[in-house]
Amino acid sequence: MPLRNPSILVVDDDENILRMMQRILELEDYRVFTSSNGEDALDAFAVESPDLVLLDIIMPDMDGYSVCQHIRKFSRTPIIMVSVKNSEEEKVYGFDAGADDYVTKPFSVKVLTARVRAVLRRTDLYTKHPEPAFHCGALVIDFSRQRVMLAAREVNPTPIEYAILSYLARNAGFLLTSDQIIENVWGKAYVGETRVLQTNISRLRQKLGDGSRNAGYIVTVPGIGYMMRSDSSFCDRKYYT
């Protein structure tokens, strides 16, 4: 049976941009669905179960941030924000809402298709190449199922948070610079945007309980980067609360 081409839901209230993006993606052999507003986008997402969402931010009834937050309540499907808003604050807000990447308008065809390929490739890599689970104290990362457990309770990181956490875990015990992490998770275009990384690390720490007596999985080395704990004295501890 031939492999199914990835499907993409494109959401934009500008019909010209919507048709242009649809044409670009169909020429790349993607199956494309379109919506022109937030409410319709959520309905289309529920029906079509796309492999990726390209999501405009500025829309009349429900903005892209709200759509992204709604999707994140029940799905880890990759989401790329596509917007004229290009400030660092807007990008951070997009990632806070649960986006996996952020493309600013106007964009080139090459940039858009490269970002789409990169996000789909990253998702496909985690799905098709399972690895042994990572164990450290109460923390378990099941790479094959992309699940994170803490003291037998499931943690629900966003796709970006999971990408950061799994990259740190795969390199546990080694100090990774901020730029190394950013390039691995977002790509070279984001190198230097450390605030985005800091925001996601902060959210991860909250979900892992870092700061409490049972925490300390992610270590910060100021001015350099981050490291996942791997020392036996820490990882051998058992927590049941």
- Which 3 state secondary structure label does DSSP give 28? coil
Position 235 scores a pLDDT of 65
Position 20 scores a pLDDT of 94
Position 33 scores a pLDDT of 94
CA distance 44 to 229: 42
> 106: cis peptide before it, omega within 30°?
yes
Position 74 scores a pLDDT of 79
Tokens of 76: 């880890």
CA distance 57 to 91: 11
CATH assignment of 131-235?
1.10.10.10
Give the CATH superfamily of 7-127. Response regulator (3.40.50.2300)
- pLDDT tens for residues 123-181? 765 555 456 889 988 899 988 777 899 988 999 888 788 889 999 998 998 999 999 99
Mean pLDDT is highest, among 109-113, 185-189, 212-216, for 109-113
Residue 212 confidence (pLDDT) above 50: no
CA distance 73 to 214: 27
Per the CB < 8 A criterion, the answer to whether 165 and 142 are in contact is no
Mean pLDDT of 117-124: 80
Residue 239 confidence (pLDDT) above 50: no
Instruction: Tell me the domain boundaries of the chain.
Output: 7-127, 131-235
